[in-house]
């Protein structure tokens, strides 16, 4: 067991788990933050995407040991002072989700993209989101929502 300190959605947490435990299971099972999803366990689908120090990170393939001292933001942490993130607002406006399972990961990729590119092109969106698998077919609405969020100042 190892004691690991990290910040999750702005809250300091000290975690005592096996150090090889992927961040995903710490979030879901230890901290009860179930918005981040398990899809493949090998970093191939993006359902588990979170931000680690602002960078999109596959939490299923990130041992919690490597998160010591880091700042993690999950889908639950995007809301600020009771206001949804502009990307989430755009998601709702475009009615993006179908089953919804991959959407937290999609949204985490989209919010990180908009921080880097205020007005992403379609090619930027392809680069940033092609690692997020959706089996239901929300891709076109995802693209529309990212453009809408960019228009509405989504680089929050």
Partner 1 sequence: MISSVNRRNFLKVAGGAGAGLVLSFYLPSKNHEFLGESPNESFAPNVWLRIDPSGTVTITVAKSEMGQGPHTYFPMIVAEELEADWKSIKVEQADAHPDKYGSQGTGGSTGVRTSWENLRKAGATAREMLIAAAATRWNVDRLSCYAENGSVIHKPTKRSFTYGQLADDAGKVPVPQNPPVKDPKDFKIVGTWVPQLPTADRSTGKAKFGIDTKVPGMLYASLVRCPVFGGNVASFDATKAKAVPGVRTIVQIDNGVAVLADSTWAAMQGRDALDIKWDNGPNASLDSDKIRKMFEEYSSKEGVVGESEGEIAKALTAGAKSVEAVYELPYISHSPMEPMNCVADVKSGSCEIWVPSQTPQSAQDVAAQITGLPKEKVTVHVTMLGGGFGRRLDNDYVEEAVKISKAASVPVQLLWTREDDMMHDFYRPASRHHLSGAVDGSGKLVAWNHKMIGPSIGEQRSPGRFKDGMDRSALNGATEMPYSIPNYAVSYVMANTAVPIGAWRSVYRSQNIFVVESFIDELAHAARKDPLEFRLQMLDKSPRLKKVVETVAEKAGWKKPLPKGLGRGIACASCFGSHVAEVAEVSVEKGKVRVHRMVVAVDCGIAVAPNTLEAQIEGAIVLALTAALKGEITIENGRAKQSNFDAYPLMTIDEMPKVEVHIVNSYEALGGIGEPGVPPAAPAVCNAIFSATGKRIRRLPIVKLV
Please report whether residue 30 would count as binding partner 1 according to CB under 8 A: yes
Please report whether residue 56 would count as binding partner 1 according to CB under 8 A: no
Residue 89: how many CB atoms within 10 A of its CB?
A: 16
User: How far from chain centre, in Å, is Cα 7?
Assistant: 15
Please report whether residue 88 would count as binding partner 1 according to CB under 8 A: yes
Of residues 129, 110, 104, the one with CA closest to residue 48: 104
Q: Which is nearer to partner 1, 117 or 141 (CB)?
A: 141
Residues 93-122, one symbol each (x = binds partner 1 by CB under 8 A, - = not), give --xxxxxxxxxx--x---------------
Q: Give the pair of three-digit tokens for residue 82.
A: 């009771």
Q: Give the pair of three-digit tokens for residue 81.
A: 């002072």
Q: Which of 4, 15, 52, 129 binds partner 1 (CB under 8 A)?
A: 129
Q: Which of 66, 71, 117, 133 binds partner 1 (CB under 8 A)?
A: 133
Helix (H) or strand (E) holding 57: strand 55-58
Distances (CA, A) of 84 to 65, 107, 156: 31, 12, 11
List of residues contacting partner 1 (CB under 8 A): 1, 17-18, 21-22, 25, 28-30, 32-42, 44-45, 47, 74-76, 78-79, 84, 88, 91-92, 95-104, 107, 125-126, 129-143
């Amino acid at each position: 067991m190892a004691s690991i300190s990290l910040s999750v959605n702005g809250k300091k947490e000290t975690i005592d788990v096996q150090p090889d435990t992927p961040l995903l299971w710490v979030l879901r099972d230890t901290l009860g933050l179930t918005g981040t999803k398990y899809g493949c366990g090998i970093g191939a689908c993006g359902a588990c995407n979170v931000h680690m120090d602002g960078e999109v990170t596959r939490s299923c393939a990130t041992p919690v040991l490597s998160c010591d001292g880091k700042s993690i933001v999950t889908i639950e942490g995007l809301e600020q002072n009771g206001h949804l993130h502009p990307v989430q607002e755009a998601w709702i406006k475009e009615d993006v989700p179908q089953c919804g399972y991959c959407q937290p990961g999609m949204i985490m990729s989209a919010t990180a993209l908009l921080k880097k590119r205020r007005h992403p092109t379609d090619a930027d969106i392809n680069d940033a989101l092609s690692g997020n698998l959706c089996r239901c077919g929300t891709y076109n609405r995802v693209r529309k929502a990212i453009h809408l969020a960019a228009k509405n100042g989504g680089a929050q």
